[in-house]
Amino acid sequence: MRLAYACWIADILKAGWRARGATESQRRTAVAAALAFVAGSLCNVSIANAQVVWPPIPPQPTPWNALQVMEPVPFVQRWEMSGVEDIRPEDTPVKTRLQPGYEVRGVRAGDWLFQPSLTAGGFYSSNVFASPTDKRGDMIFRFHPSLRVDSLWERHSLSVQADVESDTYRSNPGLDQVNASIRARGRFDIWHDTAILTNFRVAKLHEDVGSLSSPAGAVQPTPYDFATADVTFWRQFNRLSVSGGARVDSYDYGSTRAQNGSVINQDSRDGQIYVAHSRVEYVFSPYLGVFGAVEGNRRELRGSPVRSLSSDGYRTLGGVNLELSRLVKAEIAVGYADQMFDAPSIARAAGPAYRFLLTWSPTRLLDIKFRAESMVTQAVDTDVAGIRAESLQLGFDYELRRNVIVSAAAIYERDKFLDRLRDDTVFATLEEVRYMLNRFWSVSLRHQYIKRESNVPTAAYDRHEVGLNVTARF
């Protein structure tokens, strides 16, 4: 019945968008076609009862300037010691907890599990241009079809995620954007304790107006094409695991526009970034582990005829992971970063870094999370501004009912630019209520506030965003 309903939706979408024809914009046609394809492709398969089992600890959200190898990950050894399937829902994090009756079943076709979803909604932004003086509010409508495909093989694993996200502004069509991405992650087992880990992604993305990496004076999002490929060799020796690999990132930027209509060319940021990375982890017990990570990079960026943007650098990080019963989980780590540019006119970005993560669960219904971090890096990979970033984050996830999750967070961040007379302070809050009607439907209400203060007047702004989203999963 539910499968027939999904096919019926697909037929309506296909017919409706065909009828509109060329009078609709190319952007909306592409989004609707993607959704119709996702729904229509599932009409000849059956509902699956099999579940893809995920690690009991979700990955930490990456900060805007963090590198993947440096991020905390659960120890594979810990999963094997405790047994993933033996962990009860109430012992998993509140945010990702799957209560009986609310799991996503997906649709199975042979050795593949398909999990399509569609999120539609809207939100109001009080300052869409991130302006300190000319604050303009607008209503944004968001449409986000997604399809996840996971292998159900006994050996090896492959996961593919495809997303299209469309934002349509009611009063400022120049801010409209469509982001599309497809990512494939794989694990190919050589032996039971040895594997090749892969991560590939191709995406069409945009930099929002007012972000740290957005060109000064831009009043439209900056489009860019992004591609990345990472191959890592992983080996486990009882309690010791080691990994090493290489990654290539490629950027191809388009142009944006200033308020006076002039074109802001961003071709100077085009190029490739080559990274070699390694990580070593040792687990003394299911409750104590140590790790160390290091990476080196070479950034080959176009720049201008008079100044190169290319550079060489490295980052290190090492520390301990603690799990004091199921109530407290923590990570304490310190490291160092150094990025040296080819052009002598660009200041060197170097300095110590630290990170402290803490999750406290005083009850099974509440997770309190704290994060303190300091690092020296660039604003983004393709920007030359060296930054010392210090941030504090405090938040909680509360299970009000089995199907109602309340989340809130407060963030303080200070960004000191090393080669500019600029010092920014950021304060942000986030509140969200997610209500799961059943395993197929959920509704979320979200509010976000951000305030950036800066000694550069044009960089300061504040903005409220409040919105409602409805998500359908099959």
Question: Is the pLDDT confidence value at 70 over 60?
Answer: no
Do 109 and 30 share a structural domain? no
CB of 129 within 8 A of CB of 210? yes
Give the other-Cβ count within 10 Å of 131's Cβ.
17
Range of the domain at 463: 45-473
Higher pLDDT, residue 433 or 238: 433
Higher pLDDT, residue 305 or 232: 232
Token readout for 157 is 């694993």
Higher pLDDT, residue 219 or 50: 219
Token readout for 239 is 């309690």
Do 263 and 119 share a structural domain? yes
- Residue among 202, 253, 229, 288 at smallest CA distance from 383: 253
Do 2 and 80 share a structural domain? no
Residue 344, C-beta contacts closer than 8 angstroms, at least 6 positions apart: none
Question: Is the pLDDT confidence value at 15 over 60?
Answer: no
Do 39 and 66 share a structural domain? no
Do 165 and 34 share a structural domain? no
pTM: 0.78
Question: Is the pLDDT confidence value at 54 over 50?
Answer: no
Do 105 and 10 share a structural domain? no
Share of the chain above pLDDT 70, in %: 79
- Output the CA–CA distances (angstroms, integers) from residue 178 to 34, 163, 181, in the order listed: 12, 10, 10
Give the other-Cβ count within 10 Å of 461's Cβ.
18
H-run or E-run covering 33: helix 26-40
- What is the model's pLDDT at position 396? 94
Summarize pLDDT for 157-189 with one digit per residue, the tens: 899 999 999 999 999 999 999 999 999 988 898
Per the structure, how many domains does the chain have? 2
Do 169 and 57 share a structural domain? yes
DSSP annotation of 99 reads -
- What is the model's pLDDT at position 85? 46
What is the CATH classification number for the domain harbouring 121? 2.40.160
- What is the model's pLDDT at position 46? 41
DSSP annotation of 24 reads S
Do 189 and 245 share a structural domain? yes
Summarize pLDDT for 75-109 with one digit per residue, the tens: 333 334 344 445 666 677 888 887 888 888 889 99
Do 25 and 168 share a structural domain? no
Do 49 and 34 share a structural domain? no
Question: Is the pLDDT confidence value at 43 over 60?
Answer: no
Higher pLDDT, residue 328 or 35: 328
Summarize pLDDT for 361-389 with one digit per residue, the tens: 999 899 999 999 887 776 666 666 678 88
Distance between terminal CA atoms of the chain? 12
Question: Is the pLDDT confidence value at 270 over 60?
Answer: yes
Sign of torsion over alpha carbons 67, 70, 72, 75 = positive
- What is the model's pLDDT at position 384? 66
pLDDT band at residue 248 under the 50/70/90 scheme: very high
Do 341 and 326 share a structural domain? yes
DSSP symbols for 36-74:
HHHHHTTTTSEE----PPPPSSPPPPPPTT--GGGS---
Do 294 and 178 share a structural domain? yes
